[in-house]
A and B are shown apart, each in its own frame.
Chain A
């Protein structure tokens, strides 16, 4: 899932980031001004924990969505 972030340097374009790759240390570029953004070393743990929690949350939501989309007739 790609996330759009307004480029903090040129504010003319959006930088598309993929949270899992970002947590693994990848950097993403602005297509207009070509700046590169990545996670600073000081926040590595926070983002890794956040991405893990996000995966667990998505799995739980998928279960609930399945239940809701195919409700049983009472």
Chain B
């Protein structure tokens, strides 16, 4: 039938829609912001927490902060003070990397939600002498997952469409086609890379104290 060729199929109707831009646009903007955050984090870490080694180019040493540790020590009494025990303060020192005192916080783009519904309609009408009546209805849903930049992305959607055509004896022919497209995109933050966590943990745990050579107990 000549009229049927003038109505668009469901596939054709959706092919003209900028789905990539509609879903990808906001996600890309969020991913870009997240990438900039990662760069800022890296710059902060390298510039503030490390010094480039002057003898070995391309090698970075963590900036160490010297900390003092005071603890009370009970000293047994001597004959001079009548065997009265006394408490003195012992000072030792240890070094901590600056990185572990002001660690990289895990600020990041929380998640991105893109929800939208589209309805596409196509119809055609003409006078026709052929008698014809039919109707179809379809419903489908889909879901997909993957990674976009630092995000894990899940896309859920559903498509439903109705088709109907009728022709009344010899006067009128009408055909319509409509489809609803609902899309829900959810992108969640991927966790901090294990390697970065391991480095921070290793630094944080490696804090063995050293006794200051000049430390003298302070009698209290």
Contact = CB atoms under 8 A, between A and B. Distances in A.
Interface of A: 1, 3-6, 8-9, 17, 19, 22, 27, 33-40, 42-43, 46-47, 49-51, 53-54, 57-58, 60-62, 64-65, 67-69, 71-74
A61 B21 contact: no
Interface string B58-69: 000001111111
A43 to B, nearest CB: 4
Interface in B100-138: 100-103, 105, 107-110, 112
A28 to B, nearest CB: 10
B65 A47 contact: yes
Contacts of A62: 107
B107 A5 contact: no
A36 B70 contact: yes
Given A17-B101, A53-B47, A53-B48, A40 B67 contact: yes
B31 to A, nearest CB: 8
B205 interface: yes
Given A50-B63, A64-B40, 15 more contacts: A8-B209, A9-B71, A33-B71, A38-B68, A39-B67, A49-B48, A50-B49, A65-B107, A69-B112, A71-B25, A71-B26, A72-B29, A73-B25, A74-B21, A74-B28
Interface stretch (B5-13, B91-99, B165-173, B175-183): B91-99
B37 interface: yes
Given A3-B101, A6-B207, A64 B72 contact: no
Contacts of A49: 48
Contact of B204 (A6, A33, A60, A68): A6
Nearest to B98: A50
Given A67-B29, A71-B27, A6 B205 contact: yes
Contacts of A9: 69, 71, 209
30 contacts: A5-B204, A6-B207, A8-B94, A9-B209, A35-B70, A36-B69, A37-B69, A37-B70, A43-B66, A46-B65, A50-B101, A53-B44, A57-B41, A57-B48, A64-B33, A64-B40, A65-B110, A67-B33, A68-B29, A68-B30, A68-B109, A69-B109, A71-B29, A71-B112, A72-B26, A72-B29, A73-B22, A73-B25, A74-B21, A74-B25
Contacts of A40: 66-68, 93
